[in-house]
Structure 1
């Protein structure tokens, strides 16, 4: 199995982790403070979908990071 990580994907896990974190924060804002979320244009009904998308994105980022770190250690 080829575990070589190409250069363009080197920091992709970090971008995905940041996007997932942002989705989680916005989802929690929509659930906990719907008035504040509405003030920035975020409907309260988007709370749970944003939390789920954020959790999936952060999990995917963790898997990419683990794959990259294993590939870097493989001679």
Structure 2
């Protein structure tokens, strides 16, 4: 897994606006909407690097990094 830096996580206003719109649209979709899975997948792909960054940030505090990364990834996928 490639090491991420803070610069990898910082995003432009336009990219953040994309994420905000994506989440808003996802929230507006009915549970049975066929587009929901694609939107959910894009949201996970968008936020997964942040979860890895945060897991690494809190590593070295008594919990194995692999466990922190796994829990962070699961946290991104929660919802729906």
Give the alignment's TM-score, normalised by structure 2. 0.42
Identify the structure with bigger relative contact order (alpha carbons < 8 Å, sequence gap 6+): 1
User: Which of 1 and 2 has greater Rg?
Assistant: 1
* TM-score, with structure 1 as normaliser: 0.43
